[in-house]
Structure 1
Amino acid sequence: PAAPPRDAGRPRRPPPIQAAKQRFEVLALARDDGRVLWRRTAIEATPPAGTHPHATFASASPVTDGERIFAHFGSQGLYAYSWDGELLWSKDLGDMQTRNSFGEGSTPALHDGVLVVNWDHEGDSFIVALDAATGAERWRRSRDEPTSWSTPVVATGGGKPQVIVAATGRTRGYDLATGEVLWQVAGMTLNVVPTPIVAGDVVYVTSGFRGNKMQAIRYAGASGELDAGDPAILWQYDRDTPYVPSPVLAEGQLYFVKRNGGILSALDAATGAVRYAVRLDRPDNVYASLVAAAGRVYVVGRDGTTAVIKCGPSFEVLATNHLDDGFDASPAIVGDVLYLRGRTHLYAIARPLSAAGGERSAP
């Protein structure tokens, strides 16, 4: 008999969602009861390409400086609103051509009146800094990078704010004021998605598509092309790293899942030493980034299950909770409330106010 095809038995990637006319909206909801305070249509348009079937055409997160809200719809534009929902300005940065029509998803970084957008795609990639008040361009730098979905972060260790972007070719640190490349290092895999994690003068970068890589880099004072022997590279790790979800740093440890779930690892952030790597019963499929609060790590799954893990060198599950929904968006923690954006509902989760002190503890 004829030999089976090489990909026999492998799950096939589902086809992308085809582009069709969409309404791109921004909603403001009251934190206490979820009522809609205002709702604005930014644009109605047909995206230039399709998107991944597990994503949407509005995958980037809004960001705010407490006075303005910035909604980034990628190829459909960047929109700045007042706290009351008045459109202040908008910016068209062009059309993205993402790898395999996987769609767009990088969120802008915001720091001290500067909004930074990374635009890595299959065309001419670039990074651009905009004035948050007006949308005027402050600087722009070309990037020799294929599509990436990682969100830039601004790091302030060493006294000079840097924009750090993880990508396939190089992770780079840019001077926030000028756009000058201060340092760069190779090592990430294809399809870089996780957001870098900054703690003091160290940044942790990772990726996990067709390979595994995590690096701890002392970015403050780093200069030029870095390699494995450079003292700025504190440690590297090459097992069980995440594809989509970002790690979380809590109480001196980095927590992350393998690829998109299944194995949870905890590493000492200072040395890279493995504290544990264990299989989670549930959830076993994770797109949402891990979050932490009050000595707990929250791992939120696509099936509606959340595992609550105790922070520490030993693995301990404190609780496993389930909601009749699915979660791809990353949770947000504000004060003592955990917000979850599901496919059908938005949830605010917290313990009831105590009768004695009128205070809540972590959910």
Structure 2
Amino acid sequence: MKQSSLPALFCLLCLSLRAAAPAEPAALANWPQWRGPLASGVAPQVDPPLTWSETKNVRWKVKIPGTGTATPILWENKLFVLTAIPTGRKLDLAEAAARKAALATLPSGGTREVSTSVEPPQEFLRFTVICLDRQTGKTVWEKVACEEAPHEGHHRNHGFASASPVTDGTHLIVSFGSRGLYCYTLSGELVWKKDLGKLHTRKSFGEASSPALHGNTVVVVRDHEEEDVLLAFDKRDGRELWRTRRDEPTAWSTPLIVEHGGRTQGVVASSSGLRAYDLKDGRELWAGPKLTESVIPSPVYSNGVVFVTSDYQKKVTYAVQLGRTGALADTDAILWNYRAHAPYVSSPLVVEDLMYFCSNATGRMTCLNARTGEPHFEAERITGLQNLYASPVAAKDRVYVLSREGSCVVLKQGPKLEVLATNAIAEKTDASMALVGKEVFIRGQAHLYCIAEE
């Protein structure tokens, strides 16, 4: 079901040519953050391989110690990966019992929900940043951010190294959530670190929101079952620039930073709605429509419009035109809404006038007209795609969709569903892909793959 606002849509068509803020040229040639150079999954300067397998077009494959689902990022010849490595060292029994008892004392009720059904881990983990050589996959440097036994567990399909790092080519910003926020040089020297305190997530499902970076400002959102806050830090020294209180249950979405109308704003998706904050001082600029609980997908931006979607017990997708302030939910700033087949985990992909996403956590693909919300096709089953957590990416008029089983279906970009290739590696894959130059980087359950034409 779709509803649209035609007057606002006409205004959008008039303004779209000057609405988008271009990424820096250096960023366009790299994969510097969660969802790539435009924070959208689109890689405009990339010519990736069409086909591969475990034995075809694999330039290198290296084992990554520990576990993690953070998307690797890349700047020039360096690839950065986060992981949590078991140490074998355990908490003593008294400390383990005390931690479990502490979880039971946390407040709950209303929309807040803390569960002790997920056992807190008793083993210390080594939270580690690894830098690999892009051409060979060999380790350039490896730094341990901290060694800690996490205070709460995570969902069985989740982990402790799920937030993707971000870089501007000089600073590398790393978030291990409750284990801290870190800034390194690209040579691995620690510049600063911040202890932001413990997060207590809904049902102890774990943490995932990635940091965002714009100019000198690092933005971190902490929506959980206690005090929620949006924070900004100076990337150069870690100095806190501002903090804005929020009132949200747990969400796992990553902030989206956009420039529009001469103003830079951080857009955050959460249960009470899509909200934007002035990046200068953290002041709320506008509040959009209400979303579902347990928001995981990140919003995306294209041609003056922010697109957001979520799926937990109901399905919502909205297109919100930028340029307004205040409460937008009942205004024509909401260009259209679509209430079917929304993704639960993966984020949507908007490329040109097409919006792609997969239903729930399955491989059923939907494509909408991004300007009107009208469906081109809906919940189409694609052979080779089953369960799906990774977000789709686009390059060279193609859409790459990676499943949890290690298969990747390549679609022709367009309003009709056309499969160009079906590829597979022999590992489970929950992290989203990274595309740079003529290469595809895929993080499997145990290995990192560099896919390139032989």
Q: Shared topology, TM-score over 0.5?
A: yes
Who is 2:376 aligned against? 275
Contact 1:15 / 1:53 at 8 angstroms: preserved in 2?
no
- The SS at the match of 2:178 is helix
Q: Distance in 1 between matches of 2:316 and 2:122?
A: 33
Distance 1:72 1:216, change over 3 A: same
- The SS at the match of 2:449 is strand
Q: Distance in 2 between matches of 1:240 and 1:16?
A: 33
Q: Distance in 1 between matches of 2:384 and 2:278?
A: 42
1:29 and 2:128 aligned: no
Who is 2:202 aligned against? 99
Q: Distance in 1 between matches of 2:145 and 2:451?
A: 29
What is the aligned counterpart of 2:184 among 72, 78, 81? 81
Cα displacement (A) at 1:200? 2.6
Query: What is the number of equivalent residue pairs in this alignment?
Result: 337
Q: Which AA in structure 1 matches 2:427?
A: D
Who is 2:13 aligned against? none
Who is 1:4 aligned against? none
What is the aligned counterpart of 2:316 among 194, 204, 213? 213
Structure 1's unaligned 5+ residue stretches are 1-13, 353-363
Show CA shifts across 1:226-271 (max 9, x none).
123x121111111000000011112320110001113100011111
Who is 1:188 aligned against? 291
Contact 2:118 / 2:154 at 8 angstroms: preserved in 1?
no
Who is 2:453 aligned against? 351
Who is 1:246 aligned against? 347
The normalised TM-score by structure 2 is: 0.73
What is the aligned counterpart of 1:138 among 233, 238, 241? 241
Q: Distance in 1 between matches of 2:375 and 2:367?
A: 6
Q: Distance in 2 between matches of 1:273 and 1:302?
A: 29
Cα displacement (A) at 1:76? 0.2
Cα displacement (A) at 1:36? 0.6
- The SS at the match of 1:156 is strand
What is the aligned counterpart of 2:362 among 254, 261, 264? 261
Q: Distance in 2 between matches of 1:54 and 1:64?
A: 27
Q: Distance in 1 between matches of 2:313 and 2:120?
A: 23
Contact 2:120 / 2:150 at 8 angstroms: preserved in 1?
no
Contact 2:288 / 2:320 at 8 angstroms: preserved in 1?
no
Distance 1:310 1:19, change over 3 A: farther
Cα displacement (A) at 1:134? 0.7
Contact 2:121 / 2:150 at 8 angstroms: preserved in 1?
no
Q: Which AA in structure 1 matches 2:213?
A: L
Alignment of 1:1-363 (within 5 A): 18=121, 20-219=123-322, 221-228=323-330, 230-277=331-378, 278-352=380-454
Q: Distance in 2 between matches of 1:59 and 1:349?
A: 22
Contact 1:251 / 1:312 at 8 angstroms: preserved in 2?
no
Contact 2:121 / 2:149 at 8 angstroms: preserved in 1?
no
Q: Distance in 1 between matches of 2:270 and 2:242?
A: 20
Q: Distance in 2 between matches of 1:16 and 1:158?
A: 48
Who is 1:358 aligned against? none
Contact 2:224 / 2:250 at 8 angstroms: preserved in 1?
yes
Contact 2:368 / 2:374 at 8 angstroms: preserved in 1?
yes
Show CA shifts across 1:204-245 (max 9, x none).
0110111101110012x21111123x1211111110000000
Q: Which AA in structure 1 matches 2:338?
A: Y
Show CA shifts across 1:131-169 (max 9, x none).
011110000000010000000010102110000000001
Show CA shifts across 1:253-295 (max 9, x none).
0110001113100011111110112112221100011111101
Q: Which AA in structure 2 matches 1:343?
A: Q
Cα displacement (A) at 1:186? 2.8
Contact 2:118 / 2:203 at 8 angstroms: preserved in 1?
no
Q: Which AA in structure 1 matches 2:300?
A: I
Who is 2:43 aligned against? none
Q: Which AA in structure 2 matches 1:83?
A: L
Q: Distance in 1 between matches of 2:384 and 2:247?
A: 39
Contact 1:128 / 1:140 at 8 angstroms: preserved in 2?
yes
Contact 2:121 / 2:151 at 8 angstroms: preserved in 1?
no
Q: Which AA in structure 2 matches 1:94?
A: G
Percentage identity across paired residues of the two chains: 44
The normalised TM-score by structure 1 is: 0.91
Contact 1:158 / 1:201 at 8 angstroms: preserved in 2?
no
Contact 1:240 / 1:259 at 8 angstroms: preserved in 2?
yes
Contact 1:19 / 1:50 at 8 angstroms: preserved in 2?
no
Q: Distance in 1 between matches of 2:449 and 2:308?
A: 30
Q: Distance in 2 between matches of 1:290 and 1:337?
A: 16
Q: Distance in 2 between matches of 1:299 and 1:58?
A: 22
Q: Distance in 1 between matches of 2:318 and 2:249?
A: 20
Cα displacement (A) at 1:17? 6.9
Bigger drift between 17-26 and 141-150 goes to 17-26
